[in-house]
Structures are given as structure tokens and as C-alpha cells.
Amino acid sequence: MDSLTHKLINSLNIGIIGAAGYTGGELIRILVNHPNANIAFAHSKSQAGKPVYATHTDLLGDTELVFSGDDIQPLLDLQGLNAIFLCSGHGESKKFLDEYQLPETVKVIDLSTDFRNESNGFVYGLPELQREAIKGATKIANPGCFATSIELAVLPLANAGLIQDDIHVSAVTGSTGAGQALSATTHFTWRNNNMSIYKAFTHQHLTEIKMTFGKLQAGFDKPVNFVPYRGDYTRGIIANVYTRYEGTLEEAKALYKAYYASHPFTHVSDSPIDLKQIVNTNKCFVHLEVHDGQLLVTSIIDNLTKGASGQAVQNMNLLFGLPEDAGLRLKAPAF
């Protein structure tokens, strides 16, 4: 097979499958400015042959990349390819890996739900949970957006074995969390000045959330009562998580700050938090309160960055021994 003709010195050569959607576009935005990444190809069946900036119009002037539409196998066999990101819909990643052969040297980061149960040799890619396992992996299952926000709200508690009772969650996500394809509940006319509950107590991310808590607190079997909301905005998740807790607020803050001290993107805020602090960043902010024996944790992330593509790049950095924050020092709008 041909080698990569535009390989950069000291760079990783990256392929993206499903590059025309929201997560694919967000990956391209991050990787075109990553100091150690070169996008070898961005594949899209629907946009094949078109410039990337024709679909992701904000990238005009940033890249001349054209969506590939050729047979995928020759792209996967390109000499020097280091990793691929799978950004297609849920169920498609498994089909893709069943259909195509990947060289053993190519690492996989999957943004779908297909392998979050860590089947087929995949490692669950939440760095704040298992950074060392990610470093030694070849296949990463990127966490879901709601799951990321909720897990980061509870990890320190589970790590200390302090989950004693049911966990209650209400969380709101922006419209980009539903993907790019339009539906009755995603178009502007319906979503604007509106709010609704969906998949109450049955959301698909509950499976990985319970798995994650069980990794830290042996025998975890408490219900996670999760009520998701569709929000009247584009990006971001705010999750309010509460459960029974017998300590003080100062003890909870010390527990959380100690757990996240070595993690560059998750921070405990002593002041109340809001979404504009984290939109367009790979950060998670958490804020703690104690009320009448209940610990309330508010957790905020951008569903497309820390909840998807940013965390995927964070995992890529760990896989290849790069600084964990390479290419991810992104600025929030703040106001």
C-alpha cells in the first residue's frame, strides 16, 4: 500500500471514520491544531469528495482536507497509520470491525456505545478512572457524555467506598447530544423555549455508569435513579447528583480534591458553577454541597468535548505517551 504522502515529522497519522457528524467535526477541529497529529483521512459516505469545510463550515481556512469516499480498506492499510477514531452511529463500530481488517499497529478509539462493556479487548476510556490501563491498551471505548458527567461526580465517593444508598441524578443536555440527524425533538422549532424528560430510569448510559462504580466500590449494587432532560441550548451537560452522606462538606471537598489532584481536566470549584465555564473545553467542573445528610454534587461538561471528541483525543494522548493535555488547552467562552 502507498505510504502517507503528507506525513508530518514527529506526528501521529490519524484516520476518522464517520467524519461528517458532530463528533467527527469536533475531532477535526481539535486535531488540526494538535501539535502531534496529522489527519491522514476523514471518511464520510454521505459527503465523499467534498471539502471538509463545506460541511464543517467554521473550518474554512484551517484545512484543505477532502472527505474520502474510496474503499476504506486501502485507507486502513496506509503505511504509517497510527490510529483511527470511529465516529459513526451506535452499532456501526461493531459492523465496521467485523467487515474490515486493521493492521495490528493501528490503535482504535471508538466513540459509540458498542464496546463500553469492555468486550473484544476494549478498555473503557475514562482517564480519571483507569489512566494506566488506557496507556497500555490498543482499543479504547470512549465513555458516553452523560456517563462521563455523572461518573466524574461520584468517582471519589465510590473510590472511598462511601456509596451507602441510592444515587439520584437529574441532568440536562444540549441538542448536539442527540447527533446531527434531525428528529421531532431536535429541530429548532420544537427545542427552542422548550424542555422535556426522556428515557427516565432507562437511559443507555446507566449500564456503563453502574459498571464504573462497581470497579471502584466492590459489591456496588445501589440503584442509580437517572432522569435526563433535553435542554434549550446547543452544548453542555449539567448533572445534579445526590446521595446519602455522613461526613462534612469540608471532608467531602478534601476527598474530591485529593482524588482529582493528578488529573488535568477535572476540578473542584468552591463556588457555584455554570455551563459557560466549560463549553468548548475538555474540562469537568464539580461543585459540592451537603444538606441534611445528603451530598449534592453538580457536575458540568461539554458533551462534544469532554463528553466525546475531546476525551477521545485525551485517550489518544495517553495511548501514545504524549502529554495528556496536548491539543486540549481550549478556552471557554465564559460570557
Look at residue 227 and give its three-state secondary structure. strand
Closest CA to 241 of 128, 306, 152, 145: 152
SS3 content of the chain, % helix, strand, coil (to 5): 30, 20, 45
- The vertex-118 CA angle with 202 and 159, nearest 5°, equals 75
- Alpha-carbon torsion angle 21, 22, 25, 27, nearest 10: -120
Cα of first residue to Cα of last residue in the chain, in angstroms, is 50
User: Phi, psi (5° rounding) for residue 266?
Assistant: -110, 125
Is residue 87 among the annotated active site residues?
no
Give counts: helices (H), strands (E), the chain.
10, 13
Return the residue matching grid coordinates 468486550: 119
Contact 322, 308 (CB under 8 A): no
Mention every residue, 6+ apart, whose C-beta is less than 8 A from residue 266. Answer: 128, 152, 260, 283, 284, 285, 286
**Cβ–Cβ contacts within 10 Å for residue 214, how many?**
13
Query: Which residue out of 52, 145, 152, 297 is catalytically annotated?
Result: 145
> What is the set of active-site residues?
145
